[in-house]
A and B are shown apart, each in its own frame.
Chain A
Amino acid sequence: MNMIVCVKQVIDPEAPPSSFRVDEAGKKVVPPAGVPPVISPFDENAVEAALRIKDVQGGKITVISMGVNLLREVVKKPLSMGADELVLLEDEAFAGGDSWSNARALALAIKKIGVYDLIFCGRQAADWDEGQVGSGIAEMLGLPGVTLARKIDVSDGKARVEQVTADGYEVVEVSLPALITVSNELGEARYPTIKGIMAAKKIEPIVWKPADIGLEPEQAGAAGRKIILQKLYQPVHEGKCEIIEGESPEEAGAKLALKLREAKLL
């Protein structure tokens, strides 16, 4: 089984909301000081999905990450979890892309890798929360896909995928090769082992520039955008919470009920 997983390095989405800043003029988010970036959480679930298949039937997992200033200790995490190879699309030209330019570059890199049975993406990246790049790659490569996977079993050239729905899930069978986007319902990603970390240290990432994958400069990153970002801002918080106090927590609880009655909420 040859598997490819796309992982994106993002600002830690679990950083406290109070540390979040936007540079409105630059239409950019200012990375919070002292909070290192992470692999977008659903992409870790995607790595886990591939590893579970490898656990059962073996195979090779190639991880692709595109961006600028990719911290090796961050993007190498999938290797320390058990992935085999890391391809980095790292160049200023890849910066500032939208779903179109990102999907195009990743699709070209996947074409260059050439052999694959399954491609995994996260359900959405924790920065722009779009959830489009996986579908875009599938369209560009002419692949079938299943979005929002919570469980994947592979046999006889097919994948049986449990797909999350609003009130449960559906079991969908898809022919391979296919692209699957993974949701957190799959279960938590494993922690890297010491052995895994040592092994990852020895793996040199392969770095590709736009020319290496045949991407024209006018299609890369910001230049290849089709959507225009007009404005980026932080919504204002009115934030006037009335704290109900009491001699004891029990008294505060009872007073809260009275307060809600008074406010006609009960």
Chain B
Amino acid sequence: MAEYSGVMVHAEAEEGKLAAIATELLGCGRRLADDLGEELSAVIVGSGVSNLAAEAFASGADKVYLVDDALLQDYQTDTHVPAVEKVVRQAMPRILLLGQTSIGRDLAPRLAFRLETTATMDCIELDIDPGSKRLRRTKPVYGGNARAVFTSELDPQIATVRTKAMTPLAPDTSRKGEVVNVAAGLDSSKVRTRVLEKVKQEVEGISLEAANVVISGGRGMGGAEGFKQLEELAKMLKGAMGASRPPCDNGWVPDVLQVGLTGKIVAPDLYIAVALSGSSQHMAGCSGCKNIVAINKDPEANIFREARFGVVGDWKKVLPAFSAKVKELLAG
């Protein structure tokens, strides 16, 4: 029987290009493959995705498995799991990496159970154990209060990776590789779901994930009104506005602004946290930022354990003065 070998990345597409997470996974996958002295492949599943192979090569892949089928237009468990399963059974990668995205969160566990192997979700570090050559998967647990390191004896070793946890390679368009087309072979009568509609909750301005400056408000903002001030400040700093979970749950801001473990992962140069306590689950979304600034009236709030600069005080008094000074400095 053939042996498992190599590293495979499930590369998601976004608006006709490889998603940022795909290039991050390829960067990480390249390192793992080189450590093992084995091949790095990408699996791209979708409809009209053939043109993405070149991008995958430029980002580090040696080989690309393409499953291009009209039935794969939208992500659905019943179409994508069999498609990736087929590629994995054919290619037999030792390691399979996916993004901790809404797709990866659905696909990775299904695939692991179907292939009778293990997956570890939301990893932030991956390396090869020098002794056993097995994949060491480090993931935050208990909302980020602790970290766990897992290994498994079963192949393929599946892990999803948190966005922004890995560094992509500088794209090298001279890199070429082999394209393997795999027929999806789907039976549409076995698809038990149907995507009826896609609703985008548009947010004006710079996207939270791309912004260099993020200003987030928490429960202590007290209502939608306060967020207007944060939005103005965000605009002034050419940044984006975010929030902890309670403002989203309370409908003060759209759900898509939630930063954290189950929200967006951001890594700006500057993160200003206003009237949020800095729960481990929230910090999971911004811990990659070295310059966290906190405004909170409670000197004991956890956010002051995470911040570089802070002001203890009522945001209603601190923030307008802060914003006015920022405006003055930027003008001068």
Contacts and interface: CB of A to CB of B under 8 A. Distances in A.
Given A241-B304, A260-B293, A17 B280 contact: yes
B55 interface: no
A160 interface: yes
Given A147-B105, A243-B312, A256-B309, A172 B195 contact: yes
Interface string A119-131: 0000110111111
B1 to A, nearest CB: 20
Contacts of A128: 141-142, 148
Contact of B281 (A13, A171, A232, A249): A13
Closest 6 CB pairs of A and B: A253-B321, A257-B325, A144-B192, A253-B322, A135-B109, A249-B317
Nearest to A186: B249
Interface of B: 74, 76-78, 101-102, 105-106, 108-110, 112-114, 117-122, 136, 139-154, 192-201, 237, 245, 248-249, 255-256, 261-262, 264, 269-270, 278-281, 291, 293-295, 299, 302, 304-314, 317-322, 324-326, 329-330
**Which secondary structure dominates where chain A touches chain B?**
mixed
B94 to A, nearest CB: 16
Given A168-B199, A239-B306, A266-B329, A174 B193 contact: yes
A66 B302 CA distance: 32
A211 interface: no
A188 B306 CA distance: 28
Contact of B152 (A103, A227, A248, A253): A227
Given A145-B77, A174-B192, A265-B270, A227 B118 contact: yes
Contacts of A130: 109, 120-121
Instruction: Give the one of B294, B318, B329 with max A CB within 10 A.
Output: B318
A249 B329 contact: no
Interface residues of A, number: 88
A26 interface: no
B111 to A, nearest CB: 9
B160 to A, nearest CB: 9
Interface of A: 11, 13-14, 16-18, 20, 22, 29, 98-100, 103, 123-124, 126-132, 134-136, 138-140, 144-148, 150, 160, 162-175, 178, 183-185, 187-188, 226-235, 237, 239-244, 248-254, 256-261, 263, 265-266
